[in-house]
């Protein structure tokens, strides 16, 4: 219940940050100021609990059990979602959303974000001695392709209900989920991340079946107000199988064994969207793009996520 209450608070407040005027200004912030804008989360405390109980009941000393040994990481999904304010009254009357980005518009945006982000993501992992792979590189068998295309992430009923309540209260919820070509949308790992046990438990077996040490999910949240298109959030989550081995004979003291863990999460969410394009009424394409600096934002955010791993899992 404590985690679900925390999740509700996070959804309602969303780590609201004072947005910069442009993406370029955000990218140019000094390290100390940018770090204050990045919300992080991890499951180090739960992993430590598993390791402590395992050692206590077996007498075995685990070789470096706290730090996930990550070498091959798969980019599971890279997608956008629209977070424009919804017209609740219109919906009750059988209408539709007042004004929002369609899937076609989202696809144009996600492609641009992805083109700027992928080289930076790969470089950041390489700097940490890891390799970031895209689906066509880590999906090498028909069985893995079937898993990727059909796997369903579990979500608890309580977490789902909490999100719906928060969405209704804020009159905003994600719409028009759309991923880059050759990717599926896996929304739960970044939207809910470590706050729901079923989500984290689902991600461990998925990574194992896809033959990678961990899975990275990236979400870009955008919105439209009149003619302005804004950046609302950038979210990244890294999940892996639990580094502590499963032993049915052990009472872990947590109710059950978590097959998967949230290694680390890093995200920035803005109370006021950063405007980066215009979409006039009846226009079929975006205008006046101002996306310069998003590659830098990507690099600094993923570097923060990866840099936190050794600190958070050092057993201190």
Strands 214-225 and 16-17 turn out to be unpaired
Domain housing 291: 2-312
pTM of the predicted model as reported, rounded to 2 decimal places: 0.85
Show Cβ contacts of residue 195 under 8 Å, excluding neighbours closer than 6 positions: 3, 4, 6, 7, 10, 159
Domain count, the chain: 1
Say whether pLDDT at 128 is over 70: yes
Report the pLDDT value the prediction gives residue 86, as an integer from 0 to 100: 57
Say whether pLDDT at 309 is over 80: yes
Say whether pLDDT at 101 is over 90: no
Report the pLDDT value the prediction gives residue 254, as an integer from 0 to 100: 66
Strands 39-41 and 175-179 turn out to be unpaired
| Average pLDDT estimate for 197-215 | 92
The mean pLDDT value of the chain amounts to 82
């Amino acid at each position: 219940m404590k985690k679900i209450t925390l999740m509700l608070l996070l959804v309602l407040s969303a780590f609201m940050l004072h947005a910069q005027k442009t993406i370029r200004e955000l990218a140019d912030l000094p390290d100390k100021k940018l770090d204050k804008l990045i919300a992080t989360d991890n499951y180090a405390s739960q992993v430590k609990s598993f390791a402590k109980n395992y050692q206590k009941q077996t007498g075995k000393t685990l070789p470096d059990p706290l730090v996930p040994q990550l070498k091959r990481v798969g980019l599971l999904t890279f997608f956008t979602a629209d977070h424009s304010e919804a017209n609740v009254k219109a919906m009750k009357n059988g209408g539709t959303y007042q004004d929002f980005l369609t899937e076609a518009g989202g696809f144009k945006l996600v492609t641009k974000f992805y083109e700027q982000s992928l080289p930076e993501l790969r470089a950041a992992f390489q700097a940490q001695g890891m390799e970031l792979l895209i689906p066509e590189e880590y999906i090498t068998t028909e069985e893995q392709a079937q898993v990727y295309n059909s796997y369903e992430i579990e979500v608890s009923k309580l977490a789902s209900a909490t999100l719906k309540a928060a969405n209704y209260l804020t009159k905003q919820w994600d719409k028009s989920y759309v991923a880059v070509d050759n990717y599926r949308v896996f929304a739960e790992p970044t939207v809910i991340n470590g706050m729901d046990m079923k989500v984290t438990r689902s991600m461990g077996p998925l990574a194992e079946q896809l033959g990678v040490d961990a899975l990275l999910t990236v979400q870009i949240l955008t919105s439209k107000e009149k003619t302005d298109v804004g950046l609302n959030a950038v979210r990244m989550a890294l999940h892996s199988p639990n580094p502590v081995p499963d032993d049915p004979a052990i009472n872990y003291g947590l109710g059950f064994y978590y097959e998967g863990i949230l290694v680390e999460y890093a995200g920035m969410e803005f109370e006021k969207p950063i405007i980066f394009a215009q979409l006039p009424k009846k226009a079929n394409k975006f205008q006046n793009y101002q996306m310069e600096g998003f590659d830098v934002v990507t690099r600094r955010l993923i570097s923060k996520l990866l840099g936190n791993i050794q600190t958070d899992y050092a057993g201190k």
